[in-house]
Homo-oligomer: A and B are copies of this chain.
Amino acid sequence: MVDGTNVVRELTVDLGERSYPIYIGEGLLQETSAYLEQHGVSKKSSLMIISDDNTAPLYLDTLVSSLTNAGYTVASAVVPAGEASKSLSMFENLITKALEAGLDRKSTIIALGGGVVGDLAGYVAAAYMRGIRFVQIPTTILAHDSSVGGKVAVNHPHAKNIIGAFHQPAFVLFDLKTLQSLPLRQVQCGLAEVIKHGLIWDESFVDWCDENMDKLLALDPEALGYALYKGCSVKAAVVSVDEREGGLRAILNLGHTIGHALEAVAGYGELTHGEAIAIGMIGSALVGVKLGAPQSVYEVTKRVFGKSGLPTRLPAHFDTDAIMSAMMHDKKFTEGSIVYVVPTAIGRVEVRSDVAASLVRETVEQLKQEADWQ
């Protein structure tokens, strides 16, 4: 699809009757109504946009105007930005708003924002009347990851993402212009998942990231569009094979076993998700080398994250016992054994269930000793 001047990249997440397209291009936000029409969204049933108070001031009016001008009835709800909004009480508030707005079974919920909004709005859409249509308009690079695969959830005070569903969107609309306002730290955070998709699947894309990191950090639209397309493509390929996390999808957790534990110990605040998993992926590379992967796996991983400005070592004040304990509560433990994603080469990983906790503990300690990348 071409919208006049700019090429719109399109890819399909292939999930049988739940397949859906992802559109990536500049200025797509204003064209949301056309995409809704193309996907058969009726104007007789209300829409509800869910956004956050960082994103809404920038883009909500544009979106609402575009939709109301096209004849849609639109309600909107704005939640505080940040992980704390992924709570069951916020979920309940949004269900109440959906009821008040008169949403019915043919209504659509649109997530306008990053991963928090996507997860929260997606879970509202999954649960409301046992599931209504859902559209994602991600406004962060990080959300390229969560927008593929239909995992939606809210947090429980004791565990992240423990209350959720698999609920695939009808489509995903990535407007590259909305990414221009991202602060550097958010850009880096998103790039962590982009790079992860290279590390698990595509060595040449890791090389490309390595060579084009300056352009990505400068938010060059062509480079960014390509990187999002590649990142989404890898995720889509994995998810198409394993929609409900039976097997292959586990490789997407590269860096996440340590990463989630770091986020939990840091109280979901000190480290961004991207920073946590960047450190986690350095840790995974260390584990990989210990288990026989070439030293270059570690060197390339560290170099790419270093260039992106993401942390490559664990701040010394993190308590190793607390990290190990948080890992034991992670939902990737099944029947007492730990599922750990270990790189065997750049672009290749394996899921192992025989990684000893002592080896992981040793790696966590080692991460505190890492030199900064220069």
A positions within 8 Å CB-CB of B: 42, 44-45, 88, 92, 95-96, 99, 104-106, 126-131, 151, 153, 156, 158-159, 161-166, 244-245, 331, 333-336
Q: Are A127 and B166 in contact (CB under 8 A)?
A: no
Q: Are A106 and B162 in contact (CB under 8 A)?
A: no
Nearest B-chain residue to A165, judged by Cβ: B130
Nearest B-chain residue to A45, judged by Cβ: B335
Point out the residues of chain B lying under 8 angstroms from A158, CB to CB: 96, 99
Q: Are A45 and B163 in contact (CB under 8 A)?
A: no
Q: Which of B96, B163, B335 contacts A127 (CB 8 A)?
A: B163
In the assembled complex, the CB of A72 is this many whole angstroms from the nearest CB of chain B, namely 13
Nearest B-chain residue to A335, judged by Cβ: B44
Nearest B-chain residue to A105, judged by Cβ: B334
- The distance in angstroms between the C-alpha atoms of A27 and B342, with both chains bound, is 49
Q: Which of B105, B130, B163 contacts A164 (CB 8 A)?
A: B130
Q: Are A42 and B335 in contact (CB under 8 A)?
A: yes
- The distance in angstroms between the C-alpha atoms of A99 and B166, with both chains bound, is 20
Q: Are B331 and A129 in contact (CB under 8 A)?
A: yes
Q: A126-B165, A129-B164, A130-B165 are in contact. List 15 more A-B contacts (CB 8 A).
A: A42-B335, A44-B336, A45-B334, A88-B92, A92-B156, A99-B159, A104-B334, A104-B335, A105-B331, A106-B335, A127-B164, A127-B165, A129-B331, A130-B161, A131-B165
Point out the residues of chain B lying under 8 angstroms from A163, CB to CB: 95, 127-128
Point out the residues of chain B lying under 8 angstroms from A128, CB to CB: 162-163
Point out the residues of chain B lying under 8 angstroms from A336, CB to CB: 44
Q: Are B45 and A129 in contact (CB under 8 A)?
A: no
Point out the residues of chain B lying under 8 angstroms from A95, CB to CB: 156, 162-163
Number of copies: 2
Point out the residues of chain B lying under 8 angstroms from A42, CB to CB: 335
- The distance in angstroms between the C-alpha atoms of A245 and B129, with both chains bound, is 11
Nearest B-chain residue to A332, judged by Cβ: B105
Point out the residues of chain B lying under 8 angstroms from A166, CB to CB: 130-131
In the assembled complex, the CB of A181 is this many whole angstroms from the nearest CB of chain B, namely 32
- The distance in angstroms between the C-alpha atoms of A158 and B159, with both chains bound, is 29
Q: Are B165 and A151 in contact (CB under 8 A)?
A: no
Q: Are B162 and A129 in contact (CB under 8 A)?
A: yes
In the assembled complex, the CB of A84 is this many whole angstroms from the nearest CB of chain B, namely 16
Point out the residues of chain B lying under 8 angstroms from A126, CB to CB: 165
| 8 pairs of residues in contact across A and B, judged by CB atoms under 8 Å | A45-B335, A99-B156, A106-B335, A126-B165, A127-B165, A130-B161, A130-B165, A131-B165
- The distance in angstroms between the C-alpha atoms of A131 and B127, with both chains bound, is 13
